[in-house]
Amino acid sequence: MNRRRLTLDRRRFLTAVGATGLTMSFLRALPSYAAGTDKRYLILLFTPNGVVRHLWGADSTGTNPGDFTLRPWLAPLAPFKDKLVVIHGLANKAANGGSHGPGMVTLWTGDTITSDGTFASGISIDQAIAAQLNAGTPFPSIALRARSPLDYTAKDPQSRMIYSGPNSPVDPREDVLAALSDLFVGIPAAGSTTPPPVDPAITRRDEIRKRLYGRLDAELGRINPKLCSDDQHQLEALREGWAALTASLGRSGPGTGAISTCSQPAGLTGSTDYRTTIKENIDLLVMALACDLTRVASLQFSAARSPMVFDWLGHTLDHHSISHTAPQPSSLGPNLNMGQSDPEHPTADQLATYAVPIQQMTDINLFYAQQVAYLAQQLAAFQVDSTTTLLDQCIICWGNELDNGSNHDHFAMPFVLIGGGNGHLKTNQLVEFPLADPYKPLSNAQYAHNDLLVTLAQAMGVTSITTFGDASLNRGAITSILA
Amino acid sequence: MQKLSHQLVLWLGVAGAAACAAGAGDPPPDRRLKNAGTPVADDGTRGVSLLDLGAQFASQGKCDTAVTGRTPLRRISRIEYNNAVRDLFGDNSHPADSFVAEEIVAGYNSNSVTPVSQLDNQQYLEAAETIAQNVVKNFAAISGCTGTSDAACSDAYLKRIARRAYHGTLPDAEAQTLLDDVHATATAIDVDAGIQLGIESILLSPRFLYIVEFGDGTTTIVPLTPSELAGRLAASLWRSIPDDALLAAADADQLGTSDQVTQQAHRMLADSRAAPMLADFVDQWLGIKTADALLKDATTFPNFTTGVRASVAAEPAAFFTRAVTSDAKLDELFTSTTTYGDQNLATFYGGKLATDGSIALPTERVGLLTEAAFLASQAHPVLASPVLRGKLIRVQMLCDPVQPPPPDVNQKVDSPTGTQTTGDVFLAHAKDPFCAGCHQYMDPIGYGFNQFDATGAFIGSKGGSNAGEVVAPAAVDAPDVTGKFNGPGELASRLAGSQLVKQCYTMQSLRYALGRSEVTADACSANDAWQHFVKSGFDVKEAIVGIVTSDSFRYRANGTPGGACQ
């Protein structure tokens, strides 16, 4: 086992960002300003295996806001063009030249990793925001993953993007029916406005739970002092988990900022069919936000290096394999370090050579873009007031573990923001960061995606986060995005 | 910033061939690491070189006092949870199947690195509540007491199952607080609620969810207490909790000697509870995927139906369990001409199913390596993969880790065209000196299986030549496996006769049984286990018996309370 020895434990790390496991639980009872009228939601969205650069993103057509056209892979988002920020040219320097796993664990943490096969060495931005936000919602954050039986099951760096601290992945919920029963307690069934009656069995269960928590805490207290520090660290996580469960005792009903029509999501089947589970995860997520169950959420489609086979699109190879058959910068010149080719402008010859994989990558990524559009559409269907929809209150940040899928690049990461952050996000724009030298991305000239993570915190109203992840990669929030 | 080098562990899953080219001037990666006892892989494993080191230590008298690497606090895995509630309550509902999956440590599932997550906690809570409700509902039948109101009987019952659930150890003080809380709850709510709380407390206790050990004594290296050793034996040999016989042996101080442990291990391996452990081990050792994950392209392979996949996926466990219980030697795993399965499997192989469930294999198949589950797991949805098959054999059978390619590798993947076979396409690896630096260790072994498609079906010469080669391992000297071969049969014979394969199997058993990577301090134990395996004539089950009787299994390295763990 070469997993890096941790020098910071979870608690110290959370303290560094202004909270502890304990305050996270206790302070949730104290709604802060964020629970007031200026309500904002963050959704970190993930799709895997990188892009074919010239087909992803947007092209500038002028200097005014909105002067850009979407490239083919983002076409499904056209109805929401005025709510988009398309970002070109941010490097994931924290991935440190690694591949899928390193791209995944650094995507939302921005902490430089020094070895492949390891989990993140720091907290992810959503968890840091949730800890600071103290929104008073029933859940500090909700992490979801749409997974098919073809997908990876192991708890490993490729399948984990959310972290509560160093080496501490947050396991996403993969079962929509279990999520439904855990999250939507005391919330009216679909189509109803009346909360379900209080079940005496639940009252009894909670009485037993209360006694249980007391015992387990005492039992942990008898074991832990006898252990050495690494082992103590393990049981401390167990104690924090119990503290959070204790805090949730008796919790029922929506959050204070819920939209009046909020209910349980309708028609969930728990099917593991990939298309169905994606839709059901989105339906669940949208209702969770409409019910103000949390302000901070994440939704992961499959995993880094996704092995999904899109057979309904006529594919026989899996997504990861296809991604490596698409054109790559290094195939465009004799030496990939020489910068002799430009992934943004492939030649006609290259396009002809790679026509089939390019089309397949396009099929897959259009499918994912359609799912993102469905999420936006469902959020937009909730009217908060006469001029604002739930989408307007959201900041969806859509990312990927790679830039060019074929070559495991992290030079110009594909990021799109969708929503409005309740007026705190300047949308309808293409933001382009210069690629000073596309093959020397670690040069100082290029901006790192850490700045985007800070921008997300600022847009969510967590102004105390001014740097994030590896401090040496930060230059500050991207002010052109903030309103 | 230190740039990652040679770290693209995950690159190997690329389908099809990779005509890869390096950055100009980059040398092939040097992967020769033959220093005894030093890590040979990114995950810190030492491999078979640890056996040489152990022999060296033994000759220097360094193994005369007990020595072991540290076993970190480990949270039980899903299979252990399922088996524990089966053994405690007769609950066969496999509640842990929906739990979060484990991390993989040294190639095997083991929750010993990342801390428990919030979702884990919630799942534990909900499972405990459901199981406890069922126990309360059927309390008389499960506990043997007349009912939940028979306090004396139910107290004794709770203490009995608590000790088993806590992997053998129930301190008196813990028993007392458990019963006190059960009684208090019975008074405050009702007796059913008291039992409910008792069962939930047991299933949520850190003493159940983790293997908590302190050992006997205050020195750095201490023997496990007999009860702790009983817990470890049950966890490793049954992937479950101790039974009453094992605890009785612990209480009678009959687990103190190596011979006594051997005796218990033999009893346990002969018990039906060993079968799930054997299945768990062989599936992880061979990288066998679940029936669901063996899904292949339906257009290309219309006959590889859900039913066939299920039968195929079940074969390695059936074959291996049968081999172990019939005292098979390791070489027979490679050379057996009989397997075990159902009619689906027999039809898929073109073999005949006998009434005892055995299937005589057709001539093109022999032993583990031509099992369709193995061949299909190490393949893509359409294409077979010499890379994956070769890599699995090299890493798991030869303990010769393959370094991942460097980050700057250019991968251009093509499907076979015209009369090309998959193997033809993969030959590209061999042409490029940079790729060949690593791929020489994998692809040529995989070529030997070219006549089996992505589902593991035999396609004969349509798949091209089955000429393969085992390039000399990088990590160790092993002339007995090295050289060209023709097809799986010849490779199987060679592996069957190889000392390296036998030594590697010892190391795999060690990793699985301890749930961690081997470290230098395990050298004496690894060598002892190896000597035991040799003495048994390489009886498959004796590899793991050799581990559980070794110091690394029977002792623990304690850290300072609150201080460093080492």
Among B2, B3, B4, pick the best mutation site for testing chain A contact (most A Cβ within 10 A): B4
Q: Do B114 and A226 touch (CB under 8 A)?
A: no
pTM of the model: 0.88
pLDDT above 70 (res A27): no
**Burial letters B296-317, b for 16+ CB under 10 A, else e:** bbeeebeebeeebbbbbbbbbb
A210 vs B531: CA distance, rounded Å: 54
pLDDT tens for each residue of A111-151: 998 877 889 999 999 999 999 998 889 999 999 999 998 88
Residue B14, φ and ψ in degrees, nearest 5: -55, 130
* Cβ-nearest to B10 among A305, A331, A407: A305
Question: Is the CB of residue A120 less than 8 Å from the CB of residue A283?
Answer: no
Q: Do A222 and B173 touch (CB under 8 A)?
A: yes
Least Cα separation, residue B311 to chain A (angstroms)? 17
Q: Do B117 and A169 touch (CB under 8 A)?
A: yes
Structure tokens at A2: 């070469």
Q: One-letter amino acid identity for B361?
A: L
Q: What angle do CA A368, A370, A371 make, to 5 degrees?
A: 65
Least Cα separation, residue B540 to chain A (angstroms)? 26
Mean pLDDT of chain A: 86
DSSP 3-state of B269:
helix
B245 vs B266: CA distance, rounded Å: 13
User: Hey, is the C-beta of B184 within 8 angstroms of any chain A C-beta?
Assistant: yes
pLDDT at B19: 35
B345 vs B310: CA distance, rounded Å: 9
A441 vs B232: CA distance, rounded Å: 50
User: If phi over 0 gives left and psi between -120 and 50 gives alpha, with beta otherwise, what is residue B304?
Assistant: beta
B372 vs B395: CA distance, rounded Å: 19
Which chain B residues contact residue A101 at CB under 8 A? 9-10
Q: How many CB atoms lie within 10 A of CB A267?
A: 8
Lowest mean pLDDT among A192-196, A321-325, B272-276: A321-325
A169 vs A156: CA distance, rounded Å: 9
Which chain B residues contact residue A235 at CB under 8 A? 73, 206, 210
Q: How many CB atoms lie within 10 A of CB A22?
A: 15
Percent of chain A's residues with pLDDT above 90: 66
* Cβ-nearest to A311 among B1, B290, B298: B298
Contacts of B392 (CB under 8 A, 6+ apart): B286, B287, B374, B378
pLDDT tens for each residue of A415-443: 999 999 999 999 999 999 987 555 554 56
Closest by CA to A395, choosing from A450, A453, A451, A449, is A453
Q: Number of Cβ pairs closer than 8 Å across A and B?
A: 269
Which chain B residues contact residue A244 at CB under 8 A? 118, 121
| ipTM, interface predicted TM-score of the complex | 0.87
Q: Do A233 and B115 touch (CB under 8 A)?
A: yes
User: Hey, is the C-beta of B38 within 8 angstroms of any chain A C-beta?
Assistant: no
* Cβ-nearest to A168 among B18, B115, B292: B115
Closest by CA to A35, choosing from A130, A107, A109, A137, is A137
Least Cα separation, residue A51 to chain B (angstroms)? 15
E strands, A294-348, in order: 296-301
Q: Which of residues 201-260 of A touch B (CB under 8 A)?
A: 204-205, 207-209, 211-212, 215-216, 218-220, 222-223, 225-238, 241-242, 244-245
User: Hey, is the C-beta of B225 within 8 angstroms of any chain A C-beta?
Assistant: no
Q: Do A219 and B298 touch (CB under 8 A)?
A: no
User: Hey, is the C-beta of B187 within 8 angstroms of any chain A C-beta?
Assistant: no
Question: Is the CB of residue B475 less than 8 Å from the CB of residue B317?
Answer: no
A63 vs B143: CA distance, rounded Å: 78
User: If phi over 0 gives left and psi between -120 and 50 gives alpha, with beta otherwise, what is residue A297?
Assistant: beta
Q: Which of residues 81-110 of B touch A (CB under 8 A)?
A: 98, 100-106, 109
* Cβ-nearest to B407 among A99, A209, A238: A99
How do the pLDDT tens digits run along chain B, 566 residues long?
333 332 222 233 333 333 343 333 333 333 333 344 455 565 567 788 899 999 999 999 999 999 999 999 999 999 999 999 999 999 999 999 999 999 999 899 999 989 999 999 999 999 999 999 999 999 999 999 999 999 999 999 999 999 999 999 999 999 999 999 999 999 999 999 999 999 999 999 999 999 999 999 988 899 999 999 999 999 999 999 999 999 999 999 999 999 999 999 999 999 999 999 999 999 999 999 999 889 888 888 999 999 999 999 999 999 999 999 999 999 999 999 999 999 999 999 999 999 999 999 999 999 999 999 999 999 988 888 898 999 999 999 999 888 665 544 444 444 445 555 555 555 556 666 666 777 888 999 999 999 999 999 999 999 999 999 999 887 777 888 999 999 999 999 999 999 999 999 999 999 999 999 999 999 999 999 999 999 999 999 999 999 999 999 999 998 889 998 87
Q: Which of residues 436-465 of B touch A (CB under 8 A)?
A: none
Which chain A residues contact residue B407 at CB under 8 A? 97-99, 408
E strands, A303-412, in order: 394-399
